[in-house]
Amino acid sequence: MFLILLAVFLALVYKYSTRNHDYWLKKGVKHDQPVPFFGNSIRQYLQRTSITDIITEKYWKYSDERIIGYYSSVEPVLIIRDPDLIKHVLVTDFACFYQRGLNRFTDYVEPLFKNLFFADGDLWKLLRQRMTPAFSSGKLKAMFSLIVEKAEQLQKVAEVCAKSGKEVDVRDMMARYTTDFIGAVAFGIEADSLNDENGAFRQLGKDIFKVTKRDIVIVILKIMFPEMLKKVHYIKPEIEERIVNLMKSIMSERSYKPSGRNDFIDLLLELKGQGKIVGESIEHKQPDGSAKRAEVEFDDLVMAAQIYVFFAAGFETSSLATSYTLHQLAFHPEVQSKCQDEIDAVLKTYDNKLCYDAVREMKYLEMAFKEAMRMYPPLGFLIRKCTQKYTLPGTDVTIDAGTKMVVPLQALHMDEKYFERPEEFLPERFDGRDRDLNKHVYMPFGEGPRACIGERLGQMQSLAGLAAVLHKFSVAPSTNTLRKPITDPAAAIIQSIKGGLPLKLLVRKKAM
């Protein structure tokens, strides 16, 4: 009897763990055979291969297909290879794909996910509406003095490293620079990560992106048993507590009023002072088809969520992009020299002082930065979730509401169909001809209404950091430098490099 019950139990478990694994077969979409519980993601969950690398493998394996089926555990996911279909998903038919799908429920969102990156529906739309003015060019220019301050501190740290003669992990160095910048701009505090690599703020950044066994188990179980684990948070409780307590402490110090620093906290306090966010619903319609009224309370937890994503997403993406740019310049000294000549010439007209206008004039440096993000975009892929039944244009495939769509940025950026000699570092491809590039192929900051709201701020602080380093130092490969860095297999949406990016820093004679 026991054996019979055990057999029945195992059969039920098997059926439950494979309950959607015929979805793409029925749709006639090519895909790899999924395995129980894990789908096509077993290597990701075991931290053997990053999710970006797995998606990239599928992109090349099914190179003749416009779409590819994939299973994240029991969830069907569609990988979009075709730029025209990508345009439909991200822009043309955005009304069907306004969700990112990282939240599974509309009636419960964990506190720190109530931000522009993770939020969906009306919460996302109203936050975007309220937050957009905070990233205007005027606000960016007002913040730039904080960027310059951190860039100058970066130069001092780089000088110590260069004079030591030891190799430098520029991935870590640029992460500390970006952490200090985020600390100043977002929190209004001196993180001092550049001088103390084990400081509390730097450690917070490391802890946010450290993937533990607990995180993997939570992800799988929440996919398998969503309702049962609805209120079990993805974000570690200790991270949540540290962010919220930090935010409340800073707000309290300012008596919940703008301080005049022109930092992100001041901007949030100004937005909070405007009261509830009210606007047209993207989710709900009146009987006549017009949008219903929607509102969101801009409370402490919502503000904490914006600070969380500003810090987490901002420092990790920018530090990866800048350090990978330095890595490429180390292997391309002729490109590095052109960047340095431009930086020297521009800064000479501004008394050798970094400023907003100077950085805007560094066009070739920007081209090199763009090329580095083409070769290794911080976000390896974009993700959207379908909100209704939808037939993909030009196909006979109709997907159901709730189906996730993935745009494989890493693969698209390295496809010779769109970029001549994609393995080569060629900044000149962005000398204006990038206007001719299919804009739905090169998308390091995303595309459409859900494109990164902080694109200009992230790019400006990244270029300022690069200019600060390259004005006084050159970079070169060191003993432990890998020509092609290895992606950390534990990385999720934001890519990460295993073992860092060790380089030599050399003091420029001209700059002395």
CB count within 10 Å of CB 331 equals 15
Please, are residues 366 and 318 in contact by the beta-carbon 8 Å criterion?
Answer: no
Please, are residues 211 and 489 in contact by the beta-carbon 8 Å criterion?
Answer: no
How many residues does the structure list for the chain? 512
Structure-token match 């995180």, residue found = 215
452 is an annotated ligand-binding site residue: yes
**How large is the angle between the packed helices 455-472 and 170-182, nearest 10 degrees?**
130
CB count within 10 Å of CB 76 equals 23
CA distance 268 to 257: 10
Token readout for 365 is 């440096």
- Residue 410 CA, chain-centre distance (Å), reads 13
CA distance 460 to 462: 5
What single letter denotes the amino acid at residue 314?
A: G
Contacts 24+ apart (CB under 8 A), 335-343: 335/368, 335/425, 335/427, 336/470, 336/474, 336/475, 338/364, 339/364, 339/365, 339/368, 339/466, 339/470, 340/470, 340/471, 340/474, 340/508, 343/467, 343/470, 343/471
| 436 Cβ contact partners less than 8 Å away, ≥ 6 residues apart | none
What does residue 489 show for φ and ψ, rounded to 5 degrees? -65, -15
Structure-token match 């416009």, residue found = 66
- Counting Cβ atoms within 10 Å, is residue 458 exposed (0-12), middle (13-18) or buried (19+)? buried
Please, are residues 17 and 37 in contact by the beta-carbon 8 Å criterion?
Answer: yes
Sign of CA dihedral 433, 436, 441, 446: positive
Please, are residues 376 and 324 in contact by the beta-carbon 8 Å criterion?
Answer: yes
CA distance 50 to 75: 18
Please, are residues 300 and 251 in contact by the beta-carbon 8 Å criterion?
Answer: yes
Structure-token match 């002395």, residue found = 512
Residue by residue, DSSP assigns 204-258 as HHHHHH---HHHHHHHHHHHHSTTTTTTS-SS-HHHHHHHHHHHHHHHHHTTTS-
CA distance 263 to 254: 12
Of all residues in the chain, what percent are helix, strand and coil, respectively (each to 5)? 50, 10, 35
Annotated binding residues for heme, written as ranges, equal 452
Tell me the binding residues: 452
